[in-house]
Amino acid sequence: MRYVVTGGAGFIGSNTVDELVRRGDSVVVLDDLSSGKEENLAEIRGKISFIKASITDLEAVRKAMHEADYVLHLAARASVPRSVKDPLETNRINVEGTLNVLVAARDAKVKRVVFAASSSAYGETPTLPKVETMRPDPISPYGVSKYAGELYAQTFGRVYGLENVCLRYFNIFGPRQDPSSLYSGVLAKFCSAFLEGTPPVVFGDGEQSRDFTYVDNAVSANLLACEAPNVSGKVFNIGAGGRVTLNQTIAHLAKLTGAKLETKYEPPREGDIRDSQADIAQARELLSYDPSVTFEEGLSRTLDWYREAQAKALAKQKSEA
């Protein structure tokens, strides 16, 4: 089968591409490398096609879709605070870019598009865990853009018969999540803080909670969603089903590393939701999704990965000096 992975040089995308290559599928990655990195694909570079282009360029997207069976659409600006700072940019990439992907997929007659949606669509709806039947109520431009992507995908199903599945990921973490940007995911930032011995920075009181989900679980959901029967037009929560506060994640990391660091508390971020937790019953039932890697196991694997990455970077620096 031929898969197009937009955003395939990014964190979740490159982990997904690895698994597709391991299975022996043919893969085309479309990525503008705005937050993704070529080094994320270094080990499989000879086995895939890579197109460096933006999803805002319709002709480039059309080219990538040539003879594709499935499209995994992950390219996006993935940060809530970045969308608060620049809502136009987030809309251009996450909404207009997604529309280009859908138009090109429709015209290339692909079998199905799987869209990387987000738990941020739920906003501050008070009930926990979040169930797909709840009315979305996003509170950030990012959340709106991801919900708009779902609506477009479903509408392309109804109007043009394009099969689509939307996966609302809940705070995915793991190897290759970039810790270096102001907008990086919190566990990537906390892991590197603990390995570098610098204080982790918490926005708010640290009692906000997330359903932190190890990346292998999201990868399995991506692949299951391509081929599951009778699920087109549906939205699925993809989480681990639990809920951990930031203060608890810091306590876990202190235990795993043995480091005692003073946490720096700063004012909360605009657009931040307080609590998040997924009801994953529907994904279990209709996709046979089973998040087999627990939060604790995932955090320990992730920390090992950052440790190794840090050691490699140090060795490289030394050999270049």
Of the pair 98, 120, the CB lying nearest ligand UD1 is at 120
Residue of 70, 122, 142, 289 marked active site: 142
Tell me how far, at minimum, the Cβ of 122 lies from ligand UD1, in Å: 9
Candidates 5-13, 103-111, 258-266, 291-299; binding stretch for ligand NAD (CB under 6 A): 5-13
2 DSSP β-pair partners? 26
Candidates 23-31, 32-40, 76-84, 216-224; binding stretch for ligand UD1 (CB under 6 A): 76-84
Question: Can residue 189 be called a binding residue for ligand UD1 (CB under 6 A)?
Answer: yes
Question: Can residue 80 be called a binding residue for ligand UD1 (CB under 6 A)?
Answer: yes
Question: Can residue 276 be called a binding residue for ligand NAD (CB under 6 A)?
Answer: no
Over the range 101-135, which residues count as b (16 or more CB within 10 Å of their CB) and which as e? Answer: bbbbbbebebbbbbbbbbbbbbbebeeebbebeee
Report the C-alpha gap between 93 and 85 in whole angstroms: 15
Question: Can residue 35 be called a binding residue for ligand UD1 (CB under 6 A)?
Answer: no
Question: Can residue 192 be called a binding residue for ligand UD1 (CB under 6 A)?
Answer: no
Question: Can residue 164 be called a binding residue for ligand UD1 (CB under 6 A)?
Answer: no
- Indicate the SS3 state at residue 244: strand
Are 56 and 100 in contact by the 8 Å Cβ rule? The answer is: yes
Question: Can residue 198 be called a binding residue for ligand NAD (CB under 6 A)?
Answer: no
Report the C-alpha gap between 31 and 29 in whole angstroms: 6
Is 147 catalytic? The answer is: no
Are 225 and 72 in contact by the 8 Å Cβ rule? The answer is: no
Of the pair 68, 209, the CB lying nearest ligand UD1 is at 209
Over the range 168-198, which residues count as b (16 or more CB within 10 Å of their CB) and which as e? Answer: bbbbbbbbbbbbeeebbbbbbbbbbbbbeee
List the x/- string, 23-62, binding to ligand NAD by CB under 6 A.
--------xxxxxx-----------------xxx------
User: How far is the CA of 270 from the CAs of 80, 197, 201, 288, in angstroms?
Assistant: 9, 28, 16, 36
Q: Enumerate binding residues for ligand UD1 (CB under 6 A).
A: 78-80, 118-120, 169-171, 183-186, 189, 201-203, 208, 210, 246, 269, 272, 276
Catalytic residues: 142
